[in-house]
Amino acid sequence: MVECIRDKLSRNPKSEIRNDLSLLYLITDRHQTGGRELLQVIGEALEGGVRLIQLREKDLSVRALYNLALQVRELTSSYDAKLLINDRLDVAMAVKADGVHLPSHSFTPGEARNLLGTGKLIGVSAHSAEDAARAEEEGADFITFSPIYDTPSKAAYGKPQGIERLKTVCNRVDLPIFALGGIKVGNISDVMSAGANGAAIISALMAADDVKKSAKKLMTCVKGFKNKKY
């Protein structure tokens, strides 16, 4: 089915709302919340200043993901924050999300653009400089580059990329880049100094004892950097 759709699609212009990207990009994982409701954790992150959320709950059924996404959409709307859905374009369109985040095995950015239109954000996961360049060529609005540091959630993608590879990617592409993987208060300034436009966060917020306080600390760390490409 995916290949059938791909045969019928051609690339459209990139999104026009890239300039609204936040410095912090929260990626959800309800398995890291220590038993707390995911909506509670997201709400506390929003209170702490996060304005870009990716709902990434891959083990949920489509119906369960849709029902959860509706609730998250209502929550993000109340904070004027943006919601992206991981991979599932159908769910993103159904809940009127602000866009999608595409893993490497998913649709290309150009294909997603034809389905979503120019008013939606399209993020792409990159794990090499070649991935990043391809995402730019195919019309992505931004990329996450990972894993920068050692982290269990990204162990499947091999050894940490490190700061030097992050610098290489930042110099190679003109897209906004969110550094991902093991990012926390103690190292977030390093990835921003390397040229990243922002930081994508999972466990440093999902597993934080005080999510709001942690979000505020992270925001304070990134606000002094002006590496924007949008």
What pLDDT was estimated at residue 9?
38
Over residues 2-19, the pLDDT tens digits come to 443 344 333 334 444 566
Over residues 40-59, the pLDDT tens digits come to 999 999 999 999 999 999 99
d(CA 230, CA 226): 11
Domain assignment present for residue 176? The answer is: yes
How many structural domains does the chain have?
1
Residue range 64-88: average pLDDT? 99
- The tokens for 51 are 């304005």
Domain assignment present for residue 180? The answer is: yes
d(CA 170, CA 132): 9
Domain assignment present for residue 14? The answer is: no
CB 65 within 8 A of CB 37: no
155 pLDDT above the threshold of 80: no
What CATH number corresponds to the domain at position 167?
Answer: 3.20.20.70
Domain assignment present for residue 92? The answer is: yes
156 pLDDT above the threshold of 70: no
Beta strands in the chain (DSSP E): 24-27, 52-55, 82-86, 99-102, 121-126, 142-145, 177-180, 198-201
What pLDDT was estimated at residue 19?
61
What pLDDT was estimated at residue 7?
43
Domain assignment present for residue 5? The answer is: no
Residue of 110, 106, 100, 105 whose CA lies nearest to 10:
110
What pLDDT was estimated at residue 157?
59
Domain assignment present for residue 130? The answer is: yes
Average pLDDT taken over every residue of the chain:
90
Where do we find the tokens 């930081």?
199
Domain assignment present for residue 12? The answer is: no
Domain assignment present for residue 195? The answer is: yes
1 pLDDT above the threshold of 90: no
Count other Cβ atoms within 10 Å, centred on residue 186. 9
- Cα maximum dimension of the chain: 48
- Domain with 102, as residue range(s), is 19-222
Does residue 112 or residue 151 have the better pLDDT? 112
What is the model's pTM?
0.90
